[in-house]
Amino acid sequence: MNAKLQRRNKKTMIAVVSVVFGMVGLAYASVPLYDLFCKVTGFGGTPGIAQAPSEVIGDRDITVRFDSRVDQNLPWRFAPGQEPMKIKVGETALAFYRAESVADGPTMGTATFNVTPLKVAKYVDKIDCFCFTEQRLEAGETADMAVSFFVDPAIMEDRILDDVNTITLSYTFFPKYGTEGGKVAVNAAAIPDGTIQ
């Protein structure tokens, strides 16, 4: 094999390896960038995050329904704690979901959320929420989880949304990333009185 062909093969190999590493880097960066894009634009049914309640309350009523799901690999029951509620645009609402572990040990899960119809998501602002934070439940434990939110009064200026009078907040729990079914490792070291900690 001559030197010219060897140099060409080496350049080709470097280019291929560079492309592979570049694609891997983009794959890792795409998740946080997509998440940021969704939060800013409401794309994909992702609501916004508000630092404080709305100062304006409109006269338009919106019915809010609540939906819940649990990934089949997480041994939890998860359901809304209340019936649909009717709120005024700009009015701060507080809703609860109840999670119950049916596992035989401690488990951890993380909830994702979205809003339907998707076109209204950018007008739903969460003030406080249990989503995207790890939630731990012991075997048989039940926990109430709150979400505080409002529908931005700017929705009244968006003529495309004049027909929207019902929205659905939907939450899905998944096992904590990197665990098997959300199972948490338990430290089984015995302490002097013979119990397990």
Report d(CA 130, CA 115) in Å as an integer: 15
The single residue listed with the structure tokens 């119950």 is: 100
Report whether pLDDT(39) > 90. no
Mean pLDDT across the chain, nearest whole number?
79
Report d(CA 169, CA 145) in Å as an integer: 14
Sheet of 48-49, strand order? 48-49, 124-128, 142-151, 93-101, 76-80
Report whether pLDDT(181) > 70. no
**What number is the average pLDDT over the span 34-39?**
46
Q: Select the more confidently predicted residue: 38 or 5.
A: 5
**What number is the average pLDDT over the span 142-153?**
93
pLDDT-derived band at 17 (thresholds 50, 70, 90) equals confident
Give phi and psi for 106, each to the nearest 5.
-65, 140
Structure tokens, 91: 């009015």
Report d(CA 130, CA 42) in Å as an integer: 19
Q: How many percent of the chain have pLDDT more than 90? A: 50
Structure tokens, 132: 């995207």
Residue type present at position 143? A
Report whether pLDDT(32) > 60. no
Contact 86, 96 (CB under 8 A): no
pLDDT-derived band at 100 (thresholds 50, 70, 90) equals very high
Shortest CA distance to 49 belongs to which of 146, 148, 158, 133?
A: 148
Would you state the torsion angle of the CA atoms of residues 55, 83, 45, 102, taken in this order, to the nearest 10 degrees? 120
Report whether pLDDT(167) > 90. yes
User: What pLDDT is stored for residue 148 in this prediction?
Assistant: 93
Return the biggest CA–CA distance within the chain: 81
